[in-house]
Amino acid sequence: MFSALAATALAMSIVFPPGGAPGTTPPPDHFTIDVVTVNGSGCPAGTAAVAVSPDNKAFTVTYSDFLAQVGVGASPTDFRKNCQLNLRINAPSGFTYGIAQADYRGFAALAKGASGTERANYYFQGMSPTAYISHTYNGPLEDNWQATDQTELVSVVYAPCGEKRHFNINTELRVNAGTSDPKTTTSFMTMDSTDGNFSTTYHFAWKTCP
């Protein structure tokens, strides 16, 4: 669980067999990901976990308490929740990586006139963050939602070859009451589900270094 990892940096390594995004050259050796820190109101201690995807080409983050809400029962700060992951990805010698695609899923219950937004950005330590990519959903809505951030392979930002830089992922949920009445309604958006099975998946792109 991330709670232990947050308390002791690099307490767990996740081993990935060779893999990569479609159309890229996968590394010939295993690589590892160290979760350095996890911070944010959307991922309190003990509410997030990480696992390898079945195809070994991605990693998945599962949240159990990533919820933003407005209206009855919500505090003034509940309208926005965020989570920042700081990862150390140990690529095999001669290879570097970038994130080609991120898939997000959750559930939204939005009153008429309300809206919910999921947004994320990504960056390597010492480099400028990418622009936020946002996905907005309007009420009335009571259903699962899914969003995909996808980058063309020619535009993927790769880690500098031969350098060890932490990779940061910032995710955020926002709910706006809009024209709905927050005194009589509650609108919320989660990046999880009642059984905690909704998750966020990040897909790698690989590149050989000179």
Q: Where are the domains of the chain?
A: 2-208
How far, CA to CA in Å, does 144 sit from each of 69, 111, 128? 16, 15, 33
> pLDDT tens-digit profile of 114-137?
999 999 988 888 887 777 889 999
Q: What is the mean pLDDT of residues 5-10?
A: 32
Q: Would you say residue 106 has pLDDT above 60? A: yes
How high is the pLDDT of residue 49?
Answer: 76
Q: Nearest CA to 189 among 147, 149, 150, 148? A: 147
The Cα 192–Cα 176 span in angstroms is 19
> pLDDT tens-digit profile of 12-62?
333 333 344 433 555 556 667 777 888 899 988 888 777 755 555 677 888
* Beta partners for residue 103, in sequence order: 148, 201
Cβ 43 vs Cβ 170: under 8 Å: no
**pLDDT class of 140 with cuts at 50, 70, 90:** very high
The Cα 16–Cα 28 span in angstroms is 11
The pTM for the full model equals 0.78
> pLDDT tens-digit profile of 174-200?
999 999 999 999 999 999 744 445 568
The pair of three-digit structure tokens given for residue 94, joined into one six-digit string: 């001669």
Length of the chain: 210
Q: What is the mean pLDDT of the chain?
A: 78
How do the residues of the chain divide into helix, strand and coil, expressed in percent and rounded to 5?
5, 50, 45
C-alpha angle 72/41/32, rounded to 5°? 145
Which of the two residues, 115 and 148, has the higher pLDDT score? 115
Instruction: Give the other-Cβ count within 10 Å of 208's Cβ.
Output: 11
The Cα 63–Cα 42 span in angstroms is 8
How high is the pLDDT of residue 25?
Answer: 54
How high is the pLDDT of residue 98?
Answer: 82
The pair of three-digit structure tokens given for residue 51, joined into one six-digit string: 């696992």
**pLDDT class of 143 with cuts at 50, 70, 90:** very high
Q: Residue with structure tokens 């993927």? A: 156
> pLDDT tens-digit profile of 152-178?
655 678 888 878 888 888 999 999 999
